[in-house]
Amino acid sequence: MNTTPARIALLGPGSWGTALGLQLCRNGHEVRLWGHEASQIEAIRRAGENRHFLPGHPIPATMHPTDSLDEALADADDCLVVVPSQAFRQVVRQLAERLPADFGVAWATKGLDAASGQLLHVVAQEELGERPLAVISGPSFAGEVARKLPTAVTIASNQPEFAARFAALLHGSTFRAYTSPDMVGVEICGAAKNVLAIATGIADGLGFGANTRAALITRGLAELIRIGTALGGRPETFTGLAGLGDLVLTCTDDQSRNRRLGLALARGLTVEAAKAEIGQEVEGVVTALAIHRLAARLGIEMPISEQVYRVLYEGVLPSAATRALLERGPKPEFV
């Protein structure tokens, strides 16, 4: 299903950006891997691998690290943004000055805009205007993609042809790419599941066991559906790869930084100490605040996400937050 070899500007040299770059290179494409920190890019060039974020995976000759955004975009056929959510607006704003009006932009960033709480496609539309846009999400750990372990993702776009374009770029023998028109559903799942993974990590860290974990995932899915459909997401998205698939992955495997943060909080670490221990961006921390504000604005009850917010931002002890959930009164499961 591979397309003609393409030149791709890949913006964001973290673990996920590097892994997607490796996948694109395997499919015969040329990748310009951009990062704004010159020292980080130079370290990747010197080592021949991204030792800080994705060690043990040499970058191929067709992947070119650069700290020049203009160089990354020069003669590019496609642009893929894989930066943390809090940097997303700043990066796409720079693209608006450099890309033609009809040039499509895709991203694999999971989260909400930190300042406004908006979904990222809304941010992209504000900064880039009307053009082809796509979001890549689903159950996908960077290390497993780098090791060529079978992976499946969803690519949602405002234009079916653009979703198909990126599916063709990424699709390979160990990487399946499905398309969807539901950008809202795919984005809210990719963001909110990180908050729920922190909750599951806390519960597991406190020793509550498999029953509790299953209950949190299931009731967490109900929260995803509640807020996602209120925003206009399609119900089927929440039981697909970007919804249930990514939720289960992130809540149950210690490769998840958000789950590990929850485990660390249950051990008594502060939020800052837990983040320092992990050493990489933990999207669920910023997203918990955005989801708290969004749920309040929409009048939607999200008790699990709310307790995570209280632990992260109000200093509530993980044990007290868990107790608050357990003491909630009985109610119908489906209303």
Band (pLDDT 50/70/90 cuts) for residue 271 is very high
pLDDT tens, position by position, 158-171: 999 999 999 999 99
pLDDT for 326 equals: 87
C-alpha span between 175 and 271 (Å, rounded): 34
pLDDT at 335: 72
For position 140, what pLDDT does the model report?
A: 98
CATH architecture, domain defined by 185-326 = Orthogonal Bundle (1.10)
Q: Note the pLDDT of residue 2.
A: 52
- Domains of the chain, by residue range, sit at 7-181, 185-326
Write down the catalytic residue from 148, 193, 275, 331.
193
Whether the domain at 7-181 and the domain at 185-326 fall into the same CATH topology:
no
Indicate if the pLDDT at residue 3 is higher than 90.
no
Q: Does residue 1 surpass a pLDDT of 60? A: no
| Binding site feature residues | 12-17, 36, 110, 138, 140, 142, 193, 246, 256-258, 283
Q: Which residues are annotated as part of the binding site for NAD(+)?
A: 12-17, 142, 257
State yes or no: is 193 an active-site residue: yes
- The per-residue pLDDT for range 32-48, each reduced to its tens digit, is 999 999 999 999 999 99
* Residue 221, pLDDT above cutoff 80: yes
Question: What's the CATH code, domain 7-181?
Answer: 3.40.50.720
**Closest listed residue to residue 107, CA positions, set 173, 20, 185, 5:** 20
Quote the mean pLDDT of the chain. Answer: 97
**Would you say residue 114 has pLDDT above 90?**
no
pLDDT at 272 over 60: yes
Above 70 in pLDDT, residue 97? yes
Question: Does the pLDDT of residue 274 top 70, yes or no?
Answer: yes
What are 298's two structure tokens? 């929409």
Q: Which has the closest alpha carbon to 78: 7, 144, 2?
A: 7
The DSSP result for 181-249, as a single string, is S-HHHHHHHHHHHHHHHHHHHHHHHTT-HHHHHHHHHHHHHHHHHHHHHHTT--GGGGGSIIIIIHHHH
Residue numbers belonging to the annotated binding site for substrate = 110, 257-258
**Is residue 137 within 8 Å of 108, Cβ to Cβ?**
yes
Rg (CA), the chain: 19
Kindly state the helix (H) or strand (E) to which residue 143 belongs, with its residue range: helix 142-146
Q: How far apart are CA 178 and CA 281, in angstroms?
A: 27
For residues 185-193, give the mean pLDDT. Answer: 98
Q: What is the pLDDT of residue 27?
A: 98
